[in-house]
Amino acid sequence: MSSEESLERTQAVAPPSLTRAKRLLHRSYAKLPDFTPLEYRDWDDKQLRQQVLARLRQLVEEHAAQLGKVDTDSLLSALLNELTRMGPLQQLMKEEGVTEVMINGPDTLYVEKAGKLRRLKRLTFNSEDHLQATARQILAPLGKSISGGQPMADARMKDGSRVNVVAPPLSPNGTTITIRRFAPKPYTGHDLTRFGTLSPNMLRFLHLAVHERANIIVAGGTGSGKTTLLNMLSGFIPERERIVTIEDNAELQLKQEHLVCLEARESGLGGMEETVSIRDLVKNALRMRPDRIVVGECRGAEALDMLQAMNTGHDGSLTTLHANSPRDVLARLETLIMMAGYQLPIKAIRQQIASAVQVIVHQARLSDGTRKVISIMEITGIQEETILLQELFGWQRTGVAEDGTNQGRFICRGMIPKVVQLMRERGATVDLSMFAQAGGDDALRPI
Ligand SMILES: Nc1ncnc2c1ncn2[C@@H]1O[C@H](COP(=O)(O)OP(=O)(O)OP(=O)(O)O)[C@@H](O)[C@H]1O
Ligand SMILES: [Mg+2]
């Protein structure tokens, strides 16, 4: 039975008096302070349920006159389940294939499953108070809150999922929760080629590029699979190297032993905790003797620091950037650097970019929900003020099938990348067959 069907059954049997009573108690419960992260840490599930039950009993007593003839046991057990589990979200968070859960107020819930976005009309919350209680209960154990002056929060759940909550008045139509779920086991290169995200030769090239310390930017739109690809690529960093990862919310799951994970933070605890930005962490990472720096996403003033790191001996660094094409990556980097207030002439910025970045991988989420590496480009140099890009691999759409799935093929441009020529000069052995066009090896030509 799907989560929608089973929830429909439980909601259908709730009599109106019980629903009314639940609304009333949700409202009162929402006014109580959250349990603290320390309490959550010290209690197991049973103890948490006992604590919530004690609070609920107290509220039932206080509101006895308004509750009427409702069956108190059913009321307490329904509320206890809603307040200690994640309400309608509980089952969705376990359902295989669900990659995104989006709640826009108590009556509107969308999920993305197997790349398709769908509204679950029958899955709703009892009220805005119930929804807010659920959001608070997700956030409180993680040390985050939407009460007080900060009705917006971002956190990583215990299972690795990323959650974002925006509460009224910032979202006037009701609390908005967005949960990004990750595959329980991170996708490997083999998985991604099996899904048709990239071709085996693209994978071989990217493996080589990471292993041989090319600086790589993974670009794409929201939810296009940048972090997933970055995670897979980071797995190609040799075991002996010291890696420092820097993220807003730790999403990367690297297996290497010599690993330091740094996580930025917003100011918190009423101003007692200062903001530590990605940029602060990039600067700090340079003092930690890293062999590699992996920045989860570059989207602010850290862009220049990252490029400088790439240019000053921390080659082999990896990051992602929100952009709509490889050319757009260059424009975005320029904008980020200028927005950070550096008074550098555009030519100097472009020179920094051209000498820092070697490879741009562009990934997209297609209309049928699949993720594809659309293009792998190399930066080959700079002429006057124009950065030169050369496509090495790409994906070409050939049509759309009746069921809406995109059809296409991966292509190789038949070039030996400049970065590979440098690797060979340094003594690396490279099997050049990965760059051969379908026509055969004789199509190979150096750029
Ligand atoms: N190649 C893929 N095939 C199928 N699903 C994928 C693939 N890559 C990523 N996903 C799924 O898509 C969702 C988004 O992936 P991911 O977080 O990597 O994207 P993103 O581009 O980093 O998103 P954001 O812009 O929010 O940072 C995740 O649930 C992930 O499991
Ligand atoms: Mg991401």
Q: Is the peptide bond before 169 cis (omega within 30 degrees of 0)?
A: yes
Nearest ligand to the C-alpha atom of residue 229 = 1
For ligand 1, mutation pick of 228, 322, 370 (most atoms within 8 Å of CB): 228
Check: CB of residue 300 under 8 Å from CB of residue 336: yes
Q: What percent of the chain has pLDDT over 70?
A: 92
11 three-state secondary structure: helix
Is 80 exceeded by the pLDDT of residue 351? yes
Average pLDDT estimate for 153-179: 91
Alpha helices in 176-322 (DSSP H): 189-194, 200-211, 226-234, 278-285, 302-311
In this prediction, residue 284 carries a pLDDT of 93
252: CA distance to ligand 2 center in Å?
Answer: 9
Q: Is 162 in the pocket of ligand 1 (CB under 6 A)?
A: no
For ligand 1, mutation pick of 163, 182, 199, 227 (most atoms within 8 Å of CB): 227
Cα(143)–Cα(138) distance, integer angstroms: 10
226: CA distance to ligand 1 center in Å?
Answer: 6
139-143, 144-148, 204-208, 415-419: which is most confident? 204-208
In this prediction, residue 403 carries a pLDDT of 83
Check: CB of residue 198 under 8 Å from CB of residue 373: yes
Cα(317)–Cα(314) distance, integer angstroms: 6
CB burial of residue 318 (10 Å; 0-12, 13-18, 19+)? buried
The secondary element (H helix, E strand) that includes residue 136 is helix 128-139
301: CA distance to ligand 1 center in Å?
Answer: 24
115: CA distance to ligand 1 center in Å?
Answer: 10
Domains of the chain: 3-180 (3.30.450.90), 189-439 (3.40.50.300)
**Quick one: tokens of 78?**
């329904």
Strands (E), 107-231: 109-113, 116-119, 152-156, 162-166, 176-180, 216-220
In this prediction, residue 447 carries a pLDDT of 46
Is 80 exceeded by the pLDDT of residue 149? no
Q: For residue 269, what pLDDT band results from cuts at 50, 70 and 90?
A: low
Check: CB of residue 7 under 8 Å from CB of residue 126: no
**Quick one: tokens of 103?**
């709640």
Burial 201-232 (b: 16+ CB within 10 A, else e): bbbbbbbbbbebbbbbbbbbeeebbbbbbbbb
Is 50 exceeded by the pLDDT of residue 11? no
Higher pLDDT, 130 or 393: 393
Bridge partner list, 273: 268
Q: Whose CA is nearest to atom 3 of ligand 1?
A: 371
In this prediction, residue 144 carries a pLDDT of 84
Element counts in the chain: helices (H) and strands (E)? 16, 17
Would you tell me how many other CB atoms lie within 10 Å of the CB of residue 80?
Answer: 16
For residue 310, the one-letter residue type is M
CA pseudo-torsion sign 306, 307, 308, 309: positive
For residue 76, the one-letter residue type is L
In this prediction, residue 438 carries a pLDDT of 64
Q: Whose CA is nearest to atom 10 of ligand 1?
A: 225
Average pLDDT estimate for 68-75: 86
Burial 150-168 (b: 16+ CB within 10 A, else e): ebebbbbbeebbbbebbbe
Cα(47)–Cα(44) distance, integer angstroms: 5
Cα(119)–Cα(324) distance, integer angstroms: 27
Average pLDDT estimate for 132-152: 85
Q: Which atom of ligand 1 is found nearest the CA of 180?
A: 29
Q: For 212-247, how does the pLDDT look when each residue is reduced to its tens digit (9 = 90+)?
A: 999 999 999 999 999 999 999 999 999 999 999 999
Q: Characterise 243 by phi-psi region: left (phi > 0), alpha (psi -120 to 50), beta (else).
A: beta
Q: Is 193 in the pocket of ligand 1 (CB under 6 A)?
A: no
Q: Is 223 in the pocket of ligand 1 (CB under 6 A)?
A: yes
Q: Which atom of ligand 1 is found nearest the CA of 192?
A: 1
181: CA distance to ligand 2 center in Å?
Answer: 11
Average pLDDT estimate for 386-393: 96
**Quick one: tokens of 121?**
């009309």
Q: Is 130 in the pocket of ligand 1 (CB under 6 A)?
A: no
Q: Whose CA is nearest to atom 11 of ligand 1?
A: 225
In this prediction, residue 440 carries a pLDDT of 44
Average pLDDT estimate for 97-108: 92
Q: Is 225 in the pocket of ligand 1 (CB under 6 A)?
A: yes
Residues 6 or more apart whose Cβ sits within 8 Å of residue 278: 246, 247, 248, 264, 295, 296, 297, 298, 299, 300, 302
Q: Terminal CA-to-CA distance of the chain, rounded, Å? A: 56
In this prediction, residue 9 carries a pLDDT of 47
Q: Is 197 in the pocket of ligand 1 (CB under 6 A)?
A: yes
Q: For 353-387, how does the pLDDT look when each residue is reduced to its tens digit (9 = 90+)?
A: 999 999 999 999 998 889 999 999 999 999 989 99
**Quick one: tokens of 155?**
């956190």
Q: Whose CA is nearest to atom 15 of ligand 1?
A: 225
Q: Are strands 243-247 and 259-263 parallel, antiparallel or unpaired?
A: parallel
72 three-state secondary structure: helix
Is 90 exceeded by the pLDDT of residue 280? yes
Average pLDDT estimate for 53-67: 91
67-76, 143-152, 242-251: which is most confident? 242-251
Is 80 exceeded by the pLDDT of residue 270? no
Is 90 exceeded by the pLDDT of residue 341? no
* pTM assigned to the model: 0.81
Q: For residue 113, what pLDDT band results from cuts at 50, 70 and 90?
A: confident
Q: Whose CA is nearest to atom 25 of ligand 1?
A: 222
Average pLDDT estimate for 241-264: 92
Q: Whose CA is nearest to atom 29 of ligand 1?
A: 99
Bridge partner list, 321: 219
Residues 6 or more apart whose Cβ sits within 8 Å of residue 376: 202, 205, 206, 359, 360, 361, 362, 391, 392, 393, 394
Supply the mean pLDDT for the chain. Answer: 87
298: Cα separation from own chain's centroid: 13
Q: For residue 124, what pLDDT band results from cuts at 50, 70 and 90?
A: confident
Q: Whose CA is nearest to atom 5 of ligand 1?
A: 371
In this prediction, residue 442 carries a pLDDT of 43
In this prediction, residue 268 carries a pLDDT of 59
Average pLDDT estimate for 284-311: 92
Is 80 exceeded by the pLDDT of residue 313? no
